[in-house]
Amino acid sequence: MTENSDRAGPLVEARALSKSFPVRRGVLQRTVAEVQALRGVDLKIEQGETYALVGESGSGKTTLGRCLIRLIEPTSGQVFFAGEELTGMASGELRRRRRRFQMVFQDPYGSLNPRMRVGKILAEPLAIHKIVDRAAREDEVDRLLEAVGLPSSVKRRYPHEFSGGQRQRIGIARALAPRPDFIVADEPVSALDVSVQAQIVNLLKDLQESLNLALLFIAHDLAVVSETSDRVGVMYLGRLVEEGPTASVFGNPQHPYTVSLLSAVPVPDPETKRRRIILPGEPPSPSDPPPGCPFHTRCPIAEERCRSEEPPLAMTPAGHAAACHFPGSLAAC
């Protein structure tokens, strides 16, 4: 599972990645606008690293995750995996590399074939990717089930016979079956009961560590990722607006958007009071992003410069990057 252990450089890299979707209307389905879901995103994920992507829905997190493994085609920019460029790679070449990047979906029920028994669901990727020969498949399925905390007896059952948490365990086992190097987990716990969310998050983290996987963990709940990720990227309107080691970004947020997101996270200590920052209005439409800083229409400390000049994602005195002309100013207010 670590074909790249000796390779220098990130396992996954995006350079200036953009993705637009056409908005079609009318009987003739004419294109009337373009939704800019991603706008020039640069990102690196190292082998054995958990990188969390957070932000409101519609910020581009899922689109970024899917572009990184070419489940959808970026409009422009490049994606590299283990030093090879995936963007522009012919479909046959890409298919041979697919084993190495897998996805865990938000809806464990919708992502499992309801007509297949669990044993077959897990044996299928083993056969497709020729992971083990036919005689060893049964043992390998048992090993996968054990890795996700399920008994081998569940092989004979169908997905509808399980709880949401158990189904997500099966979804994770299926993602692990081809022995990938990189997993994109897209909101893997948001459809689950709060009581089982922590179990699934801990399972993913344990597997990521023991198998030295790179894990992209997409979430809108910052509390979920604060304990589990090495680095975090905060997205707003298709751009990364803050990025760095999780302890630094969460402990000393520099971008007003991150400050507002963190202000909504409950603090476990009842003695500690956190000032809640409620942003006015909804995020602007990604088909018509505002000029200048895309956050200026909601930012409590926006100044004239923010309305015309888009700030780059740049290193701040806090030791991590933020896209703001006045980093750290809202947190200091």
Contact set with ligand SF4 (CB under 6 A): 255-256, 293, 295-296, 299, 301-302, 306, 311, 324-326
Longest distance between any two alpha carbons in the chain, whole Å: 69
DSSP SS3 for 206: helix
- Full 3-state SS string of 95-144: HHHHHHEEEECCCCCCCCCCCCCHHHHHHHHHHHCCCCCHHHHHHHHHHH
Q: How far is the CB of 301 from ligand SF4 (least distance, A)?
A: 5
**From edge to edge, which strands make up the β-sheet containing 76-81?**
30-45, 12-25, 76-81, 84-85
Q: How far is the CB of 59 from ligand SF4 (least distance, A)?
A: 14
Rounded to whole angstroms, the Cα distance separating 305 from 301 reads 11
Query: Number of C-alpha atoms within 13 angstroms, CB side, residue 90?
Result: 2
Q: How far is the CB of 284 from ligand SF4 (least distance, A)?
A: 12
Query: Number of C-alpha atoms within 13 angstroms, CB side, residue 222?
Result: 23
Nearest of 37, 87, 39 to residue 63 by alpha carbon: 37
**Distances 49 to 43, 200, 280 between C-alpha atoms, Å:** 13, 18, 35
Would strands 182-186 and 214-219 be described as parallel, antiparallel, or unpaired?
parallel
Supply angle C-alpha 217, 219, 223, rounded to 5: 105
* Closer residue to ligand SF4, CB minimum distance, 174 or 239: 239
Rounded to whole angstroms, the Cα distance separating 233 from 235 reads 6
**Distances 316 to 254, 255, 282, 323, 326 between C-alpha atoms, Å:** 8, 10, 27, 9, 10
Q: How far is the CB of 58 from ligand SF4 (least distance, A)?
A: 18
* Closer residue to ligand SF4, CB minimum distance, 70 or 325: 325
Rounded to whole angstroms, the Cα distance separating 113 from 120 reads 10
Q: How far is the CB of 43 from ligand SF4 (least distance, A)?
A: 20
Q: How far is the CB of 237 from ligand SF4 (least distance, A)?
A: 11
Tokens of 296: 């200026």
Q: How far is the CB of 305 from ligand SF4 (least distance, A)?
A: 7
Q: How far is the CB of 258 from ligand SF4 (least distance, A)?
A: 10
* Closer residue to ligand SF4, CB minimum distance, 37 or 237: 237
Question: Residue type at 79?
Answer: V
Q: How far is the CB of 283 from ligand SF4 (least distance, A)?
A: 13
* Closer residue to ligand SF4, CB minimum distance, 217 or 326: 326
* Closer residue to ligand SF4, CB minimum distance, 147 or 301: 301
